[in-house]
Amino acid sequence: MDTQRPRLATAVMFFVSGAVIGVWAANVPFVRDRLDASTTTLGLCLLAMAAGSVLTMPLAGRELQRRPSRAMTRLGALLVPPAAVLPLLASTVWQLALALFLFGCCVGLIDVSMNAHGVAVERAMGTAVMSSLHAGWSFGGLAGAGATAVGHALGADPRATAAVFMVVLLVLGLVAGPRMGEMSAADAAASGDPAAGAPASAGAPAAAGAGAGARGRVRPSRAVVVIGALVFALFMCEGALTDWSALYLDRDLGTSASLAAIGYGAFAGGMACGRTFGDALKRRVGGVTLLRFGALTASVAVAAMLLVGAPGFALVALLLAGLGAANGVPLLFSAAGHARDMDAGPAIAAVSAAGYFGLLAGPPLLGFVADATTLPWALAIVALLTAVVAANARRAEG
């Protein structure tokens, strides 16, 4: 069976998902200015997006037990591009909250479905591919933000730029969808595929009968709860560096606004590069080792950035933090999908919900800490959490 075409098609779906997030993130200032919304009001509206995602994810996980992951992913790729334009069209705060809720629902659907299908592709190929799929998401985010920046530079209406870009994403999804292959997370679980129980660090078949009796459960197993906790920590750190790194460079290190913006670019670029080579590294050193040393690299990089306090060094540190953190989430999603005692769909839905909660809770919590102390002390929590992930890497085996 040809598996390279399904792998590429699935990576395109990850690209689509990342691109819509990139477009939204780059247009947050436009939406804020258009509605003249305060930071607090905008934060409450963002809660609606997170609520939509978190509410949809377990429903998508249950549906994946009955429907092919490829079909669910194709549906998500059809819905999420137009949904991404809705927040930019809102003329009141209430309209924005509703638009973000609907957008969050679509994001939750495609996120769970494409990750479940990514696990199915891994099983069909018999090798690690999840990091390269998530690299597609990272490059999609860069493309979405880049397209928005180009539109701003040309003086185009952000809504028009977003609409044109979403048409491109719709076409990509329609072209990639039929090429995703016949494999499915639900099919593999139902057939008792022994590779379904392979831990993320090994890729070897599980012991006979390891999960046959437990498969079909929806309530998260103990192993999935542990994996979800680690995903929560990593997403919290990713959200914190995404939201606060530019402010740290600008306010605490006194850089220019343009250099501060490069800070997030360094972090995102490190994430994209790390995920591009993540699968090869996993095959070479194993998932546990890659997770441990990656998280440790991120921890040391952030700690060094805070201790040195120099703008140039901070950019290098953010690049290294992105490289280190890049493969943590793909490795843990793969581990959840290969858990011995739970189907891939519900398992990935559970850890996705935990991750999005971390992404939601992390930046505001660190903001409260920064208000009470300083932003460097708040960012020190990122170094601490990534160190905790490194120390518990062995527990991420499904």
CA atoms of 55 and 336, how far apart (whole Å): 19
pLDDT, average across residues 250-264? 73
pLDDT of residue 45: 83
Taking only the tens place, the pLDDT of each residue in 148-183 is 888 888 889 999 999 999 999 999 999 999 999 877
Q: pTM value?
A: 0.75
Beta carbons within 8 Å of 40's beta carbon, 6+ residues apart: none
Q: Which residue has the higher pLDDT, 249 or 246?
A: 249
pLDDT of residue 162: 94
DSSP state of 200: T
Beta carbons within 8 Å of 111's beta carbon, 6+ residues apart: 17, 53, 57, 76, 352
Most confident of 178-192, 198-212, 213-227, 312-326: 312-326
**What is the overall mean pLDDT for the chain?**
83
At 13, the pLDDT band (50, 70, 90 cuts) reads very high
CA atoms of 120 and 235, how far apart (whole Å): 23
Answer whether CATH 1.10.10.10 is correct for domain 4-191: no
CA atoms of 92 and 242, how far apart (whole Å): 27
Pull the structure tokens for residue 307: 């201790």
Q: Which residue has the higher pLDDT, 152 or 208?
A: 152
pLDDT of residue 151: 87
Q: First and final CA of the chain: distance in angstroms?
A: 27
Beta carbons within 8 Å of 308's beta carbon, 6+ residues apart: 314, 317
pLDDT of residue 255: 80
pLDDT at 203 over 70: no
Which backbone phi and psi does 181 adopt, to 5 degrees? 90, 170
Which helix (DSSP H) or strand (DSSP E) does residue 361 occupy? helix 344-372
Q: Range with the lowest mean pLDDT among 133-137, 185-189, 256-260?
A: 185-189
pLDDT at 197 over 80: no
pLDDT, average across residues 28-46? 80
pLDDT, average across residues 333-340? 79
- Residue (of 112, 285, 107, 283) closest to 186 by Cα position: 112
pLDDT of residue 302: 97
- Spell out the domain ranges in the chain: 4-191, 222-396
Domain 222-396 in the same topology as domain 4-191: yes
CA atoms of 336 and 350, how far apart (whole Å): 9
CA atoms of 83 and 101, how far apart (whole Å): 10
Half-sphere exposure of 265 (CA within 13 A, CB side): 12
Q: Is 222 exposed, middle or buried (0-12, 13-18, 19+ CB in 10 A)?
A: exposed
CA atoms of 201 and 287, how far apart (whole Å): 4
- Cβ proximity of 314 and 260 under 8 Å: no
pLDDT of residue 92: 95
- Residue (of 62, 76, 67) closest to 177 by Cα position: 76
Beta carbons within 8 Å of 178's beta carbon, 6+ residues apart: none
Taking only the tens place, the pLDDT of each residue in 384-393 is 999 999 999 9
Q: Which residue has the higher pLDDT, 349 or 285?
A: 285
Q: Range with the lowest mean pLDDT among 33-37, 170-174, 318-322?
A: 33-37
CA atoms of 100 and 338, how far apart (whole Å): 32
Estimate the share of the chain in helix, then strand, then coil, as percent rounded to the nearest 5: 80, 0, 20
Return the CATH fold of 222-396: Growth Hormone; Chain: A; (1.20.1250)
pLDDT of residue 39: 64
CA atoms of 27 and 217, how far apart (whole Å): 40
pLDDT at 42 over 70: yes
Q: Which residue has the higher pLDDT, 165 or 124?
A: 165
Pull the structure tokens for residue 358: 């971390």
